[in-house]
Chain A
Amino acid sequence: MSGKTLYDKLWDAHVVRQNDDGTALLYIDRHLVHEVTSPQAFEGLRIAGRKPWRVDANLAVADHNVPTTDRSQGIADPVSRLQVDTLDENCRTFGITEFDMNDPRQGIVHVIGPEQGATLPGMTVVCGDSHTSTHGAMGALAHGIGTSEVEHVLATQTLVQRKSKSMLISVDGQVGPGVTAKDIVLAIIGEIGTAGGTGYAIEFGGEAIRALSMEGRMTVCNMAIEAGARAGMVAVDDTTIDYVKGRPFAPTGEQWEQAVAYWRTLHSDADARFHREVRIDAAGIEPQVTWGTSPEMVAPVSGRVPNPFKESDPVRKSGMARALEYMALEPETPITGIAVDKVFIGSCTNSRIEDLRAAAAVVKGRRKADSVKLAMVVPGSGLVKRQAEEEGLDRVFTEAGFEWREPGCSMCLAMNADRLEPGERCASTSNRNFEGRQGQGGRTHLVSPAMAAAAAIAGHFVDVRTF
């Protein structure tokens, strides 16, 4: 018999009950809650006269709708305000811990979970948000759910799940200087496609993944969903344990020792077998830039916008042509020939301290190009913001003509006031370049924080390795 994968271990530890139809009732250790996908779930509980099964397993924060400018006057948009007020009220009513909009710990749900130690290795973590895959970086089984499942978790602390297939993506060797976690994951998506991971739980491994910081691993796992996989994960090692130690929700004393002993077992066994294995050569990865309206539409910075006439598959060909039309790009345009109007550094993919340091290192001593209308930096949480300010990063950005904002999801999905106008082109460190994602008619190019910063300075994409 072959050994267990990390996914097998996490799954097996949480099976409450195996059902006859092949599904299992899976126990959920941590439920993260935000304002957009929870109101209907709380309403469902009320209508059915049900209570949360285990209040202390939940942690809530408002992130999608919150303004990134001065918050002292509250939220101007009455519809957004009602949604945030509804979360506050639901958390009060049901006794759920919430970091409200003015709490210094407030931030993007996928940033604050690990930051607080509320997400721990070995946990099952769910949230009504597809980027919950982020938390898999901790060696946890984490995935997004819909609102009906939010209600199910609130009411029962479980989910009815069918086990996914397992995939190992091994990024072998070392990446070159200037190549980041974001470039690794964009290259992976370019390789396997946005549906390549559908039906799978992906474990990211290999030397290049092990060399990443926790922030970098979170960036990679965050975008597992962009490859179609609900869950991405990385094995626990010293990097993981060092990161968790001392965080507010992390265990202490004897329980810490006990937990660490268990966490050390959270890796795939040497003889574990996966349903699919993909190997990627780290040395071959360049800084990446998406050119289309799906994250798989990506090219290395030295490359060109592809030509649909060279594509033989008819569905792909028409998709490509439609994407280029939406993006207003000519086939064969060099990536470095694409000029940008706005730059967004933030989102659950790239708003952690390491991301802001990488962007600031590029910006330091330079000025935003006059042709760039707005370059904004939105830290992932109040604590990331404070740390960045202590390191003086905010001044590096503001002196270069960037805006330094309050934490939230912001222009990743433009539910608050931060958005692109029709036709505007943006270098963005977020995760989705879908049509209209950052504002109706807006054109998104996904890049790393360093690449976004360099585009803000140059006014167009440049290879950050030679910038």
Chain B
Amino acid sequence: MRAFKQHTGLVAPLDRANVDTDAIIPKQFLKSIKRTGFGPNLFDEWRYLDHGEPGQDCSQRPLNPDFVLNQERYQGASVLLARQNFGCGSSREHAPWALEDFGFRAIIAPSFADIFYNNCFKNGLLPIVLPEDAVDRLFQETEATPGYQLRIDLPAQTVTTPSGQVLPFEIDAGSKHMLVEGLDEIGLTLTHADDIRAYEQRRRQEAPWLFRA
């Protein structure tokens, strides 16, 4: 997994609450058996005026000029600013895959849905929770300032605005460590293989019905 330490990037504001993972990546693209290539279909139904299907050349499709990610000033954005309960609904990891493939490295919102939040960390994508009033101010500043960039420092757990304001954020130590180091979680868990075997052995005695082949 790609590590995340510091990142400075252009901010794109997506001013809607409860953005669900069906909106982030619609179902027809979930038929892929690959992990990559979802970026062109990120927010497909909002981004394009026609109906998207897998395998299309998206560069030929009509863009919705009103959708924020299609606006000239947000081209190249790598930080997504969002509203509460971002990523709700389906557990599809295709959502963070699509965001990451599109070029996002971090998402800032007042709250995230649990499964989506977890999925981000497995894919080098940093979800940052900031208080609602701070997010409100970032929306105002982003919309008022073309080229608005934020500097994110994961080890220091801060977001810094262009004017130098520093916004601290909370994140649990384990998830932070995995992301800062870009670690393979499965490899790490398998260093505890003996603990897993010991648990299974005990459990076979206590609850043998759970181990019927």
Closest chain B residue to A151, Cβ basis: B186
Those of A321-347 within 8 Å (CB) of chain B? 322
Q: Which of A40, A53, A148 contacts B119 (CB 8 A)?
A: A148
CA A21 to CA B177, docked complex, whole Å: 10
**Interface check A37, CB cutoff 8 A:** yes
Q: Which of B88, B115, B192, B193 contacts A194 (CB 8 A)?
A: B88
Interface flags for B185-212 (1: CB within 8 Å of A; 0: not) read 1100110110110011001000111111
The minimal Cβ–Cβ distance linking B94 to chain A, given in whole angstroms, is 8
Q: Considering only CB atoms and an 8 Å cut-off, how many residues of chain B contact the other chain?
A: 61
CA A55 to CA B206, docked complex, whole Å: 20
Residues of B within 8 A of A37 (CB): 91-93
The minimal Cβ–Cβ distance linking B45 to chain A, given in whole angstroms, is 5
Interface flags for B86-128 (1: CB within 8 Å of A; 0: not) read 0011111100100000000000000111110011001100000
Interface flags for A54-78 (1: CB within 8 Å of B; 0: not) read 1010000000110000000000010
* B172 & A21 in contact (Cβ 8 Å cutoff): yes
* A152 & B18 in contact (Cβ 8 Å cutoff): no
* B185 & A152 in contact (Cβ 8 Å cutoff): yes
* A195 & B189 in contact (Cβ 8 Å cutoff): no
**Interface check A407, CB cutoff 8 A:** no
The minimal Cβ–Cβ distance linking A445 to chain B, given in whole angstroms, is 16
Those of A232-277 within 8 Å (CB) of chain B? 249, 251, 255-256, 258-259, 262
CA A326 to CA B119, docked complex, whole Å: 29
CA A164 to CA B119, docked complex, whole Å: 16
Residues of B within 8 A of A225 (CB): 89, 115
**Interface check B47, CB cutoff 8 A:** no
**Interface check A27, CB cutoff 8 A:** yes
Assuming A16-B199, A148-B93, A195-B84, is B28 touching A415 (CB within 8 A)? yes
Residues of B within 8 A of A53 (CB): 196
Given A79-B32, A415-B31, 19 more A-B residue pairs with CB atoms under 8 Å apart are A17-B192, A25-B192, A43-B33, A56-B212, A79-B31, A82-B31, A130-B91, A146-B92, A155-B189, A156-B193, A158-B189, A225-B115, A315-B17, A315-B83, A318-B16, A415-B27, A434-B23, A436-B45, A440-B51
